Amino acid sequence: MSETDAAAVAPESPVAVVVMGVAGAGKSTLAVAIAGRLDAAFIEADDLHSAEAKIQMAAGVPLTDEDRWPWLTRVAMRVRDEGQAGPVVVACSALRRVYRDALIRDSGMDLVFVHVHGSDEELAARIGRRTAHFMPASMLDSQLATLEHLDADEHGIVIPLGMPIEEAADAALEFLG
Protein backbone atom coordinates (compact mmCIF):
# COMPACT_ATOMS: atom_id res chain seq x y z
CA MET A 1 0.00 0.00 0.00
CA SER A 2 1.35 3.43 -0.81
CA GLU A 3 1.91 5.98 1.95
CA THR A 4 -0.91 8.16 0.65
CA ASP A 5 -3.44 5.41 0.04
CA ALA A 6 -6.16 6.14 2.59
CA ALA A 7 -8.00 2.84 2.51
CA ALA A 8 -6.87 -0.73 2.27
CA VAL A 9 -8.58 -3.83 3.52
CA ALA A 10 -11.09 -3.33 6.34
CA PRO A 11 -12.05 -6.24 8.56
CA GLU A 12 -15.70 -7.11 8.96
CA SER A 13 -15.78 -6.48 12.71
CA PRO A 14 -12.73 -4.75 14.17
CA VAL A 15 -12.10 -5.67 17.78
CA ALA A 16 -8.88 -3.76 18.42
CA VAL A 17 -7.16 -0.78 16.83
CA VAL A 18 -3.41 -0.22 16.76
CA VAL A 19 -2.38 3.37 16.04
CA MET A 20 1.12 2.95 14.66
CA GLY A 21 4.03 4.96 13.38
CA VAL A 22 7.45 6.28 14.30
CA ALA A 23 8.23 8.27 17.42
CA GLY A 24 6.72 11.74 17.42
CA ALA A 25 4.01 10.98 14.84
CA GLY A 26 1.20 11.56 17.32
CA LYS A 27 0.15 7.95 17.85
CA SER A 28 -0.89 8.44 21.45
CA THR A 29 -2.88 11.60 20.79
CA LEU A 30 -4.83 9.97 17.97
CA ALA A 31 -5.26 6.70 19.88
CA VAL A 32 -6.73 8.54 22.88
CA ALA A 33 -9.14 10.40 20.57
CA ILE A 34 -10.27 7.18 18.88
CA ALA A 35 -10.58 5.35 22.20
CA GLY A 36 -12.72 8.16 23.57
CA ARG A 37 -15.09 8.03 20.65
CA LEU A 38 -15.35 4.24 20.82
CA ASP A 39 -15.60 4.17 24.62
CA ALA A 40 -12.65 1.79 24.38
CA ALA A 41 -9.78 0.93 26.69
CA PHE A 42 -6.56 2.76 25.82
CA ILE A 43 -3.13 1.12 26.02
CA GLU A 44 0.12 3.09 25.76
CA ALA A 45 2.62 0.51 24.51
CA ASP A 46 5.55 2.70 25.58
CA ASP A 47 4.49 2.04 29.17
CA LEU A 48 5.12 -1.66 28.61
CA HIS A 49 8.80 -1.27 27.65
CA SER A 50 11.20 -2.63 30.23
CA ALA A 51 13.19 -0.15 32.29
CA GLU A 52 16.31 -1.41 30.52
CA ALA A 53 14.83 -0.75 27.07
CA LYS A 54 13.81 2.79 28.07
CA ILE A 55 17.33 3.48 29.34
CA GLN A 56 18.80 2.06 26.13
CA MET A 57 16.56 4.23 23.93
CA ALA A 58 17.12 7.33 26.09
CA ALA A 59 20.85 6.80 25.49
CA GLY A 60 20.19 6.88 21.74
CA VAL A 61 20.75 3.16 21.21
CA PRO A 62 18.09 1.61 18.94
CA LEU A 63 16.34 -1.53 20.09
CA THR A 64 17.09 -4.75 18.26
CA ASP A 65 14.46 -7.33 17.38
CA GLU A 66 15.71 -9.35 20.36
CA ASP A 67 14.95 -6.33 22.58
CA ARG A 68 11.51 -5.83 21.03
CA TRP A 69 10.05 -9.35 21.18
CA PRO A 70 9.36 -9.45 24.93
CA TRP A 71 7.80 -5.97 24.71
CA LEU A 72 5.61 -6.94 21.76
CA THR A 73 4.48 -10.01 23.69
CA ARG A 74 3.50 -7.81 26.65
CA VAL A 75 1.60 -5.47 24.31
CA ALA A 76 -0.24 -8.37 22.64
CA MET A 77 -1.19 -9.92 25.99
CA ARG A 78 -2.52 -6.59 27.24
CA VAL A 79 -4.52 -6.11 24.01
CA ARG A 80 -5.92 -9.62 24.42
CA ASP A 81 -6.83 -9.07 28.06
CA GLU A 82 -8.41 -5.63 27.53
CA GLY A 83 -10.12 -6.79 24.34
CA GLN A 84 -12.00 -9.51 26.22
CA ALA A 85 -13.89 -6.76 28.06
CA GLY A 86 -14.65 -4.62 25.00
CA PRO A 87 -13.05 -2.44 22.34
CA VAL A 88 -9.39 -1.52 22.78
CA VAL A 89 -7.11 1.04 21.15
CA VAL A 90 -3.33 0.84 21.52
CA ALA A 91 -0.63 3.33 20.60
CA CYS A 92 2.27 1.17 19.43
CA SER A 93 5.00 1.80 16.88
CA ALA A 94 4.47 -1.60 15.17
CA LEU A 95 7.10 -0.56 12.63
CA ARG A 96 7.65 -3.86 10.81
CA ARG A 97 5.20 -6.30 9.26
CA VAL A 98 6.60 -9.12 11.39
CA TYR A 99 5.82 -7.08 14.54
CA ARG A 100 2.25 -6.44 13.36
CA ASP A 101 1.82 -10.12 12.53
CA ALA A 102 3.09 -11.05 16.00
CA LEU A 103 0.61 -8.64 17.63
CA ILE A 104 -2.22 -10.28 15.70
CA ARG A 105 -1.02 -13.81 16.40
CA ASP A 106 -0.20 -13.31 20.07
CA SER A 107 -3.30 -11.27 20.92
CA GLY A 108 -5.59 -13.64 19.04
CA MET A 109 -7.52 -10.60 17.88
CA ASP A 110 -8.50 -9.08 14.58
CA LEU A 111 -6.42 -5.89 14.64
CA VAL A 112 -6.92 -2.81 12.51
CA PHE A 113 -3.86 -0.61 11.96
CA VAL A 114 -4.05 3.18 11.73
CA HIS A 115 -0.67 4.39 10.48
CA VAL A 116 0.07 8.05 11.21
CA HIS A 117 2.72 9.09 8.69
CA GLY A 118 4.26 12.09 6.99
CA SER A 119 7.47 13.23 5.40
CA ASP A 120 10.79 12.72 7.15
CA GLU A 121 11.02 16.50 7.57
CA GLU A 122 7.57 16.76 9.20
CA LEU A 123 8.37 13.89 11.54
CA ALA A 124 11.74 15.41 12.50
CA ALA A 125 10.11 18.76 13.27
CA ARG A 126 7.46 17.10 15.45
CA ILE A 127 9.84 14.92 17.43
CA GLY A 128 12.18 17.89 17.86
CA ARG A 129 9.39 19.82 19.64
CA ARG A 130 8.56 16.95 21.98
CA THR A 131 9.62 17.11 25.62
CA ALA A 132 9.48 14.73 28.58
CA HIS A 133 9.77 11.50 26.60
CA PHE A 134 12.49 8.86 26.89
CA MET A 135 12.91 8.61 23.09
CA PRO A 136 15.32 11.32 21.85
CA ALA A 137 14.93 12.97 18.45
CA SER A 138 18.20 11.32 17.40
CA MET A 139 16.38 7.97 17.27
CA LEU A 140 14.07 9.02 14.42
CA ASP A 141 16.46 7.91 11.66
CA SER A 142 16.67 4.37 13.07
CA GLN A 143 12.89 4.21 13.35
CA LEU A 144 12.44 5.39 9.75
CA ALA A 145 14.99 2.79 8.63
CA THR A 146 13.00 0.07 10.43
CA LEU A 147 9.55 1.23 9.23
CA GLU A 148 7.74 -1.04 6.80
CA HIS A 149 4.59 0.58 5.46
CA LEU A 150 1.32 -1.33 5.57
CA ASP A 151 0.99 -3.92 2.84
CA ALA A 152 -2.16 -4.06 0.71
CA ASP A 153 -3.31 -7.22 2.50
CA GLU A 154 -3.05 -5.66 5.98
CA HIS A 155 -6.17 -4.28 7.64
CA GLY A 156 -5.36 -0.62 7.86
CA ILE A 157 -5.43 2.99 6.82
CA VAL A 158 -2.76 5.66 6.50
CA ILE A 159 -3.56 8.98 8.16
CA PRO A 160 -1.54 12.01 6.97
CA LEU A 161 0.61 13.47 9.73
CA GLY A 162 -0.64 17.04 9.35
CA MET A 163 -4.33 16.18 9.55
CA PRO A 164 -6.06 17.83 12.54
CA ILE A 165 -6.71 15.30 15.30
CA GLU A 166 -10.52 15.46 15.05
CA GLU A 167 -10.39 14.89 11.28
CA ALA A 168 -7.88 12.08 11.73
CA ALA A 169 -10.14 10.40 14.29
CA ASP A 170 -13.12 10.87 11.92
CA ALA A 171 -11.16 9.25 9.07
CA ALA A 172 -10.11 6.31 11.24
CA LEU A 173 -13.67 5.77 12.53
CA GLU A 174 -15.09 6.02 9.02
CA PHE A 175 -12.62 3.33 7.93
CA LEU A 176 -13.62 1.18 10.89
CA GLY A 177 -17.26 1.52 9.84
Chunked into runs of 10 residues, the chain (177 residues) has average pLDDT values of: 41 74 89 95 95 86 89 97 94 96 95 91 71 59 89 95 94 93
16-176: CATH superfamily: P-loop containing nucleotide triphosphate hydrolases (3.40.50.300)
Q: What is the pTM of this model?
A: 0.85
Q: Which residues are CB-neighbours of 78 under 8 A, at least 6 positions away?
A: 43, 48, 90
pLDDT at 124: 75
> What stretches of 67-155 adopt beta strand conformation (E)?
88-91, 111-117
How many angstroms separate the Cα of 70 from the Cα of each of 36, 48, 65, 96, 127? 28, 10, 9, 15, 25
pLDDT at 155: 94
Domain chopping of the chain, boundaries:
16-176
**Closest of 33, 37, 25 to residue 133, by C-alpha:** 25
pLDDT at 136: 56
- φ, ψ of residue 101 to 5 degrees: the values are -60, -40
